[in-house]
Amino acid sequence: TIETVDAYLNSKHISGSTDSLGRDKPFFNIVTAATNIWYRATAIDRKDIRILPDKSTNVSIAFIATILLQKWMKESRFGMFLNEWGRSLARYGSTVTKFVEQDGELVPTVVPWNRMIVDPIDFDALPRIEKVYMTPSQLRKMDLYDQDVVEDLIENSRTVRKTLDGDQKDNQAKFIELYEIHGELPSYLLKEDEE
């Protein structure tokens, strides 16, 4: 489904660009216009986000909290995140967001659906798996990873990212595919060093 959505947004047929006689098939793209209209109609701006008081005695506190929130959103470029979030909602009908703390700052990102492995029936039922692509130099900079395992992974990796047509995506860097698991997992999966 994700590949079909992406193909239609890029004016491509999923059955190939030519018919059975080898003639080019035209693509009448009505999807992009509908997506753009939906995106503009449902867009949320930073100015639309406010903290409302729960009772009349908290009006001044809510006002100050809104000012601090607006300041944080401006500094963290939250408007860019909202645009990316809205665009993903308009294209796929839903989106996956991720908030990660980096150097004491909260960094929001929208995770593309083509990098997710999830339960399509119940999103929260099972752990969510995110595919992450890193270059060997990025992997070596990760202090949390066991560097012996990283070197073994780099040496034995054959990951090549490909387009829908099967063409290689990356011409310069060699990307290594990793899987990041999010969700509630049983404690027996935690492996402790026994020394």
Ordered DSSP codes for 80-117: HHHHHHHHHHHHHS--EEEEEEETTEEEEEEE-GGGEE
pTM exceeds cut of 0.75? no
The CB density around residue 181, as the number of other CB atoms within 10 Å, is: 11
pLDDT for residue 24: 86
pLDDT for residue 81: 92
Query: What DSSP state is assigned to residue 58?
Result: G
C-alpha distance from residue 72 to each of 52, 98, 110 (Å): 17, 17, 18
pLDDT for residue 23: 87
Rounded to 5 degrees, φ, ψ at 106 are -90, 120
The CB density around residue 25, as the number of other CB atoms within 10 Å, is: 11
How high is the mean pLDDT in each 10-residue block of the chain (195 residues)?
83 82 85 88 88 92 94 90 91 87 86 86 85 86 84 74 65 76 80 59
pLDDT for residue 59: 94
Query: What is the residue type of 107?
Result: V
Side-chain half-sphere CA neighbours of 78 within 13 A: 16
Contact call for residues 168 and 154 (beta carbons, < 8 A): no
Which pairing describes strands 105-111 and 128-134: parallel, antiparallel, or unpaired? unpaired
pLDDT for residue 161: 63
Place of tokens 């944080």: 72
Under 8 Å CB-to-CB from 34, ≥6 apart: which residues?
none
Burial class (CB in 10 A: 0-12, 13-18, 19+), 70: middle
